[in-house]
Amino acid sequence: MPDQSPILSIPFILPAQAQKHVTHNEAVRLLDVLVQLVVQDRDRTEAPSTLVDGLRHIVGPGAVGDWAGKDGQIAVAEDGGWTFIPAQRGWQAHVLAESQMAVFDGLAWVVAADADLRAGSLGIGGAADATNRLVVSSPAVLMNHAGAGMQVKLNKAAPGDTASLLFQTGFSGRAEMGTVAGDDFQIKVSPDGATFHTALQADGATGAVTAPKGLTVTGALTGTGVVGSVAQVAGTPTGAVMERGTAGGGSYLRFADGTQICTFAGLSAANAATAVGALFRSAVVAWDFPAPFAAPPVVTGMVQSGGAWVVADAAPTGSSAGLRVISATSLAGPVAFSAMAVGRWF
């Protein structure tokens, strides 16, 4: 028969043993230490200066002094000294300093926070079920960074699946954002949880954003996407909403739909004194447009003094027009006028 129990190494009373009370008391002492094991801490590396019989500690790694070489063992204060009990794999101890249970894994004492926590389902303030395996019923949920940034990831198996955030009222869907039945990012709303309307959609391949139900803007529109460089590919706008500029021939304004307006307020004829029947005209004044048109535009003009008007001498081209001032009376001096051309830049 062995002298000690195989698990806790508690001494047995042997047949015909003298002073049986010594063995019995030692067994009781060990049970007193190990049953309902509670320790003060698990990271102390040096014995406290004051000994209180019955207090227990788990010796921390790298211990020194009286505890040197006893890392991971249970240190018990007894009769003015220390008794050390080696732990076995699977032993548990409640650590008062941390208010949590520690388990000896064969090498060290670990708590739940030291390792991954895995559960088939988890309900916090509510009951989880087969579909909603994580349920949190709380006034708020905080996910804080651990030193830098913070990401929340929603991963789906295939593009046709759904990865989204669903906002509900009375457990009925009212808004959803994410990648639904594709990889385009969508924001949807619903009045009843059954019919959803796509408010915004960002193309996953190009990043282009569309608003299928329309868009109302009550604030200012700014940025190079509003006033910048207009462009088009095969008739489809690819640049800003409008573009404006100036050149020697005046100013121009282009729109994304292809409309272009050119204006010039600095034109002048030397005179309008050449008689044509009952009227008088000027020589042809050439106007080179500040930006070219894709086809001849419609050109109009206005004389800055009364009694005269502007006409085109011939059909304009995409880059220029010839203009004359016509007057009911002979104008011997310079005649200032302005002109405008309206057409398409593509």
Q: Do the domain assignments include residue 121?
A: no
Residue 39: count of CB within 10 angstroms of its CB: 21
pLDDT above 70 (res 258): yes
Cβ atoms of residues 306 and 318 within 8 Å: no
Q: Which of 43-52, 300-309, 333-342 has the highest mean pLDDT?
A: 333-342
Please state the rounded mean pLDDT for residues 62-74: 95
pLDDT above 90 (res 63): yes
Q: Which residue has the higher pLDDT, 68 or 20?
A: 68
What is the model's pLDDT at position 20?
63
Q: Do the domain assignments include residue 279?
A: yes
What is the model's pLDDT at position 36?
75
Do 260 and 319 belong together in one domain? yes
CA distance 214 to 237: 18
Please state the rounded mean pLDDT for residues 234-247: 94
The proportion of the chain whose per-residue pLDDT surpasses 90, expressed as a percent, equals: 82
Cβ atoms of residues 281 and 257 within 8 Å: no
Between the alpha carbon of residue 322 and those of residues 1, 159, 300, the distances in Å are: 125, 60, 11
Which domain does 296 fall in, by range? Answer: 242-344
Do 195 and 256 belong together in one domain? no
> At 61, is the pLDDT very low, low, confident or very high (cuts 50, 70, 90)?
very high
Q: Which residue has the higher pLDDT, 333 or 22?
A: 333
pLDDT above 90 (res 51): no
Do 191 and 252 belong together in one domain? no
* DSSP codes joined into one string, 280-298: EEPPPEEEE-SS--SS--E
Do 203 and 247 belong together in one domain? no
Strand partners, 177: 165, 187
Q: Which residue has the higher pLDDT, 23 or 165?
A: 165
Among the candidates 201, 216, 231, a domain finishes at 216
* DSSP codes joined into one string, 172-192: EEEEEEEEESSSSEEEEE-SS
Cβ atoms of residues 339 and 287 within 8 Å: yes
In the block, tokens 């709380």 appear at: 138
CA distance 70 to 76: 12
Do 269 and 339 belong together in one domain? yes
Do 268 and 205 belong together in one domain? no
Q: Do the domain assignments include residue 83?
A: yes
Q: Do the domain assignments include residue 310?
A: yes
Give every CB contact of residue 84 below 8 A, 6+ residues apart in sequence: 59, 70, 73, 74, 75, 76
Q: Do the domain assignments include residue 222?
A: no
pLDDT above 70 (res 302): yes
Q: Do the domain assignments include residue 129?
A: no
pLDDT by residue (tens digit) across 274-295? 999 999 999 999 999 999 999 9
What is the model's pLDDT at position 112?
82
Cβ atoms of residues 338 and 265 within 8 Å: yes
Structure tokens at 142: 């905080």
Please state the rounded mean pLDDT for residues 63-91: 93
pLDDT above 90 (res 312): yes
CA distance 245 to 241: 14
Do 168 and 90 belong together in one domain? no
CA distance 270 to 335: 6
Q: Do the domain assignments include residue 287?
A: yes
pLDDT above 90 (res 52): no
What is the model's pLDDT at position 72?
95
What is the model's pLDDT at position 304?
81
> At 21, is the pLDDT very low, low, confident or very high (cuts 50, 70, 90)?
low
Number of domains into which the chain is organized: 3
pLDDT above 60 (res 6): no
On the 0-12 / 13-18 / 19+ scale of CB atoms within 10 A, 92 is exposed
First vs last C-alpha separation in the chain? 105
Q: Do the domain assignments include residue 228?
A: no
Q: What is the mean pLDDT of the chain?
A: 91
Do 52 and 93 belong together in one domain? yes
Structure tokens at 194: 């059954």
Do 279 and 200 belong together in one domain? no
CATH number, domain with residue 266: 2.60.40.2080
Q: Give the sign of the dihedral formed by CA 229, CA 235, CA 241, CA 242.
A: positive
pLDDT above 90 (res 117): no
> At 53, is the pLDDT very low, low, confident or very high (cuts 50, 70, 90)?
confident
Do 208 and 254 belong together in one domain? no
On the 0-12 / 13-18 / 19+ scale of CB atoms within 10 A, 71 is middle
pTM of the model: 0.59
